[in-house]
Amino acid sequence: MTKQSKTINKQKLVTVVTANYVDMLLPELLEKSLEAYLKKDFSKRHFQVSVFENTHSTAGIVLTVLAMEAYRNRIYYLENKALSKKGLAEDLGEVFKIKDKSFPANLLKEILTEVEIVRDVIVHNHLYEVEIVNDGNWDMISHRQKLLKDYGDSKRLRSGLVTEQTRQTKNLKLSVQPAKIGFEDLFTILVVFDMFVGMSDKHFPNSYVPFRFTHKFNGDWITRLSHYLSYFYANNLNKVRMKKLREIYKKLRTAFISFIPDNVDYFLRNVCPKCQDFGFHQPQKIYKCSNCVFEIKVNSGYVKK
Ligand SMILES: [Zn+2]
C-alpha cells in the first residue's frame, strides 16, 4: 500500500466583521427610513424627525461608520502601516495622500470628521433641552435648543465644522441634533461610503476593500450600490430638499471625481449626460434624469423629451 502524503494548506485571512454591515443590513434601514421620510409634511417646521425615521437612520449611520473603520483597518494592515489613533478622518486622509500627492486630503479629513461627529452625537446620546412655542392648533411657531452641559463633544467644538445656528455640519450639512438625524443624513453618509469604496478601488488592489453589494429590490437584483442610491435620489419627491442635496454632492464630485474610477459604478460619476444631475443609471435598466427628464431607452436608442 502506497503511503499517501498529506499536504496541509495554510491560508492567511484578514477578516473584519463589521465590513459586511453596509451590504447586509443597510438596505432595510434605508428603505424603512425613507418610508417615514416620505410621509413627512415638509411645509411644517420640525425640531425632530419621526422616531421611526430617526431610529433606522441613526442605526444605519453607526453601522456605515463601523464598516468604514473596518476597511480602514484592512488597508492599514495590508499596507503595513500603524494606525494614527487619531481616528478615521486622519487615517484615510493620510493614506490616500501617500498614494497621490494631489489628493485633497484636508477636505476628506473635514468630511470624515463631520461623519464622525454625527456618529458620536448618536452613540454618546447627547442631550438637548428643547423649548417649543406652539400656536392654538399645536403647530410649532418656533423652538430653541440648548445642548446640556457635559454632553458636548470636544472634537466637535474644536473642529469648527459645525454651524451652531443651523446645527448642521459645514460641508455635508449633516444634522448634529440627535432627534433630527434622518433619511437625508443617512443617504449622504452612504454617498460618502460609496465614494470611499471608489477611491480605494482606484488607489489600492481590489482585495483591500472587497466591498460587494447584492440586493433584491423591486423584483430585480442590484449589484452596485451606486444604482441603488440613485433610485432613492431620483425618487426624492421633495424638490427643495433635493436641490440642497445636489449642491452637497456637486462639491464632492468636483473635489474627488479624478480620484474614483472612470465609470458609473460610483454615485458621484453616475450623472445625467445632459445636465450632470445625479442618479441617472437606476435599477431595472432605467437611465433617466429626475432633473431634466432626459432618458436613454436601453433597447430603442436615445429618446429626448
Ligand atoms: Zn439631466
Average pLDDT over residues 49-67: 94
The Cα 213–Cα 24 span in angstroms is: 8
How many whole angstroms from 184 Cα to the centroid of ligand 1? Answer: 21
Compute how many other C-beta atoms are within 10 angstroms of the C-beta atom of residue 123. Answer: 12
* More reliable by pLDDT, 212 or 157: 212
Instruction: At 212, give phi and psi (nearest 5°).
Output: -125, 140
* 1 is a domain residue: no
The Cα 172–Cα 193 span in angstroms is: 13
pLDDT tens readout for residues 270-290: 999 999 999 999 998 899 999
End-to-end Cα, the chain, rounded Å? 79
60 and 66 Cβ atoms separated by less than 8 Å: no
The Cα 289–Cα 18 span in angstroms is: 34
pLDDT tens readout for residues 161-174: 998 888 899 999 99
Q: Which of 99, 91, 46 is nearest to 72 (CA)?
A: 91
Domain that holds residue 123: 17-303
Could you give the number of structural domains in the chain?
1
Average pLDDT over residues 225-243: 88
How many whole angstroms from 271 Cα to the centroid of ligand 1? Answer: 8
The Cα 182–Cα 103 span in angstroms is: 31
Average pLDDT over residues 223-246: 89
Least confident of 135-149, 236-250, 290-304: 135-149
* 4 is a domain residue: no
How many whole angstroms from 289 Cα to the centroid of ligand 1? Answer: 5
* 265 is a domain residue: yes
- Strands 128-134 and 140-147, sheet pairing: antiparallel
289 and 277 Cβ atoms separated by less than 8 Å: yes
Grid cell at residue 20:
459586511
Cβ contacts of residue 6 below 8 Å, gap of 6+?
Answer: none
* 11 is a domain residue: no
How many whole angstroms from 110 Cα to the centroid of ligand 1? Answer: 30
* 7 is a domain residue: no
The Cα 153–Cα 166 span in angstroms is: 17
How many whole angstroms from 122 Cα to the centroid of ligand 1? Answer: 36
The Cα 68–Cα 209 span in angstroms is: 9
How many whole angstroms from 239 Cα to the centroid of ligand 1? Answer: 14
Residues whose Cβ atom is located within 5 A of ion ligand 1: 272, 274-275, 277, 289, 291-292, 294
Using a pLDDT cut of 90, give the percent of the chain over it. Answer: 56
* 82 is a domain residue: yes
How many whole angstroms from 304 Cα to the centroid of ligand 1? Answer: 11
How confident is the model at residue 9, as a pLDDT?
67
How many whole angstroms from 226 Cα to the centroid of ligand 1? Answer: 17
* 177 is a domain residue: yes
How confident is the model at residue 132, as a pLDDT?
55
- Rounded to 5°, angle at Cα 31 from 166 and 239: 50
The Cα 28–Cα 50 span in angstroms is: 17
How confident is the model at residue 46, as a pLDDT?
66
DSSP 174-200: -B-SGGG--HHHHHHHHHHHHHHHHHH
pLDDT tens readout for residues 111-136: 999 999 999 888 876 655 556 556 65
Q: What is the pTM of this model?
A: 0.86
* More reliable by pLDDT, 46 or 257: 257
* 223 is a domain residue: yes
How confident is the model at residue 301, as a pLDDT?
47
User: pLDDT band for position 300 (50/70/90)?
Assistant: very low
Grid cell at residue 302:
436615445
How many whole angstroms from 297 Cα to the centroid of ligand 1? Answer: 14
How many whole angstroms from 19 Cα to the centroid of ligand 1? Answer: 34
- Rounded to 5°, angle at Cα 18 from 91 and 51: 100
